[in-house]
Amino acid sequence: MKKHNYSAGPSILPAPVLKEAAKAVANYQNSGLSLLELSHRGPEFTAIMEEANALLRELLELPDGYHTLWLTGGASTQFFMAPMNLLDDAQTAAYTDTGTWANKAIKEAKAFGNVEVVASSKADNYTHIPKKFKMHKNAAYLHFTSNNTIYGTQWHKFPKVDAPLVCDMSSDFLSRPFDVKPFGLIYAGAQKNLGPAGVTSVIVREDMLGKVQRHLPSMLDYRTFIKEDSLYNTPPVFPIYVSLLTMRWIKKNGGLKGIQRRNKAKAALLYNELDQNPLFRGVCAKEDRSLMNPCFVMAEGYTQLEKEFSKLCEENGIVGLKGHRSVGGFRASMYNGMPKSSVQVLVDLMQDFAKRKA
């Protein structure tokens, strides 16, 4: 039975990417060696890194002055690495609180300077993106989480402020085009739209660095990895290679504009069904609904059907649809690699279920 993978992460990857990655693990480019055996300082992996950096710059249209880094530790490490590098003890950074991961970033940043939470939707259980906030006039940066996987909300328009933007883009990175120039730092765990777990993509603007007075350990200093082309120590070879394959796939499918069209079509298909199906309802403000992680529950009067619908999904090869424990219900994570045909399978099941139960 074909599986339709709605896991929030590690998540679905494009089928051609998985096929090519599997070949490389067995025998990389007919070298007689597995990709996993190659020296990270040899010519084969050097070529992989060079192409990965070049493709990332091309897809994002990065101007001069930005560095692309491939690090480890996920976004959770970036929660403290970013303020450690960018926020001095006496400075203030502005943060927005739109969910669990944004809240964790706030907690870590408080160890390195003053943190002002300038906007929060916590009082409304994070069901919307706060639009109005007042910035500290001398803020070192404004940090926000572009897509909230747990609650199913997304910034569809990025904040416009005088300070540089710092963003956790882990769950919608490379899913749409955007103007990089307002950003001083972008970080993203790969395991949603880019590659397997184990590598974190970081994009940092040169003028953001070298301003803090504190000592920075070599492994936590962005400048270390800039100087060494992300090869200060052995990098996560396999996740970087799969990320390269995914970027090739994105480019082949129309770049970020093409991927955005695909993602909008998938989201529209599911949200249209949610809005008309009497058994289900979305949990977020419509204008802030995530294209990546639609969250929904059974409608009032039908909550007793949740387990039955979950079983129906499992019987039809739909996996990973269960909502986060803090929200409940369902979460249909539809990252770049999710084909529209899989979304149609879910929608068809919802329609059939409603015909029988409503």
Rounded CA separation 281/275 (Å):
7
Question: What stretches of 228-305 show up as alpha helix (H) in DSSP?
Answer: 237-252, 255-276
Using alpha carbons, list the distances in angstroms from residue 274 to 67, 266, 279, 292.
Answer: 41, 13, 8, 15
Buried b (16+ CB within 10 A) or exposed e, 334-349: bbbbbeeebbebbbeb
Based on its alpha-carbon atoms, the radius of gyration of the chain, rounded to whole angstroms, reads 21
The three-class DSSP label of residue 6 is: coil
The three-class DSSP label of residue 298 is: strand
Rounded CA separation 335/259 (Å):
10
CB 80 within 8 A of CB 112: yes
| Catalytic annotation present for 357 | no
| Catalytic annotation present for 97 | no
Q: What residues are paired with 142 via a beta bridge?
A: 94, 165
End-to-end alpha carbon distance in the chain: 28
Active-site position among 70, 97, 155, 168: 168
Rounded CA separation 247/93 (Å):
33
Rounded CA separation 229/325 (Å):
40
Active-site position among 70, 101, 155, 249: 101
CB 127 within 8 A of CB 285: yes
Strands 66-71 and 295-298: unpaired
Active-site position among 70, 97, 155, 192: 192
Backbone torsions φ then ψ of 153, nearest 5 degrees: -115, 160
Contacts with 287 (C-beta within 8 Å, 6 or more apart), sequence order = 128, 156
| Catalytic annotation present for 160 | no
Nearest residue to 69 via CA among 83, 85, 86, 52: 52
Rounded CA separation 344/116 (Å):
43
Rounded CA separation 297/89 (Å):
44
Give catalytic residues, as residue numbers. 101, 168, 192
